[in-house]
Amino acid sequence: MKISIVTPTWNRAERLCSSLESVANQQTPPWEHIVVDNLSKDGTAALVAEYARAAPYPVRHIREADGGIYQAMNKGIALTTGEALHFLNDDDMLFGPDVLTSMGRCLALTDADIVFGDVVLLDEGHKQVQSYRRHRQMNRLTLVERTITQQAIFYRRDVFDRCGTFDPRLRIAADHEWLLKAFLKHDIRGIYLKRPVAVFRIGGVSNDAASEEAHRREREEVTQKYFSPREIRAAHLFRRLARKLPFGAAALNLFVPLRLNVRTLREKNGALLPDPLAWIDL
């Protein structure tokens, strides 16, 4: 599976270094790595040039002004030539050297439009893992209040031809809006692969304290576009009660349709095996 990596960046050379290293250390190299740079004025240009000289795969450094991270991601989509695509932000890292091997195998052996796993949240202030964000119980109601973390997802390239790209009018929640559009309007096929995919540094545009209120407003705007008031009320019930009970999600599914076109798999000795208990959350 030819996987293109897209990294939007702006004046974060120090953190970008770790992100690039995590790609360079993969057992299976990417098909290409495209760095979309919003005219950084720090050491980004020199860093990417050094990385490109050493990399055994093509590295493209696109230096031009953009209107935000989603516009940069859309530029990357237009430039990629691989069969699959992953967005790795400049302050995040792939988790371990086998991520591209694992996620690429899953895409190659299945009909999934997207494959996603989990992310590790890193508290840089304390230099330790703060928590582990799991996406194993992803359904219509969890998408009302939460999304799949962008860094956890690998996309088949042609899914953007069918579902469109990210809405650049949104500053923080365009990836959430894209998932809602893709799942609810285009019925894309997803696979949750039970494994960590990326290390997600706390403090980015969508998770620092200063942007929390703006994120909430955007998320509410997106939610009201795709869900009815009844579904939103059911989502609150699901999150606070039903999902915590054995078979609670299965019971609520009798009243409000929950299931997305998502399968759950796990890896064992190089094979992909069904993991049905992941969804019912025993």
Residue pLDDT, tens place only, 45-92: 999 999 999 999 999 999 999 989 999 999 999 999 999 999 999 999
List residues bridging with 131 in a β-sheet. Answer: 121
- What CA–CA distance (Å, rounded) separates 111 from 126? 41
- Give Cα separations from 18 to 68, 83, 90, 171, 216 (angstroms): 22, 25, 8, 25, 30
Closest CA to 135 of 179, 185, 86: 179
What CATH number did the domain enclosing 147 receive? 3.90.550.10
Burial, 186: exposed, middle or buried (Cβ in 10 Å; 0-12, 13-18, 19+)? middle
Q: What pLDDT digit, counting tens, does each position of 86-139 carry?
A: 999 999 999 999 999 999 999 999 999 999 999 999 876 656 666 788 888 788
Mean of the pLDDT values across residues 134-163? 91
Q: What is the pTM of this model?
A: 0.91
CA dihedral 265, 159, 37, 207 (to 10 degrees): -50
Structural domain for 197, as ranges: 3-280
Q: Residues 115, 120, 122, 127: is their CA dihedral positive or negative?
A: negative
- What CA–CA distance (Å, rounded) separates 56 from 104? 18
Mean of the pLDDT values across residues 158-182? 95
Q: What is the domain count for the chain? A: 1
DSSP 8-state class, residue 169:
T
Taken as a whole, the chain contains a residue count of 282
* pLDDT > 90: percent of the chain: 65
The answer to whether the CB of 187 falls within 8 A of the CB of 110 is no
Alpha helices in the chain, H assignment, sequence order: 13-24, 44-54, 69-79, 99-109, 142-145, 159-163, 174-180, 212-226, 229-240, 248-252, 277-280
pLDDT above 50 (res 282): no
Using pLDDT thresholds of 50, 70 and 90, give the confidence band for residue 192: very high
Backbone φ and ψ for 271, nearest 5 degrees, come out as -100, 155
pLDDT at site 177: 96
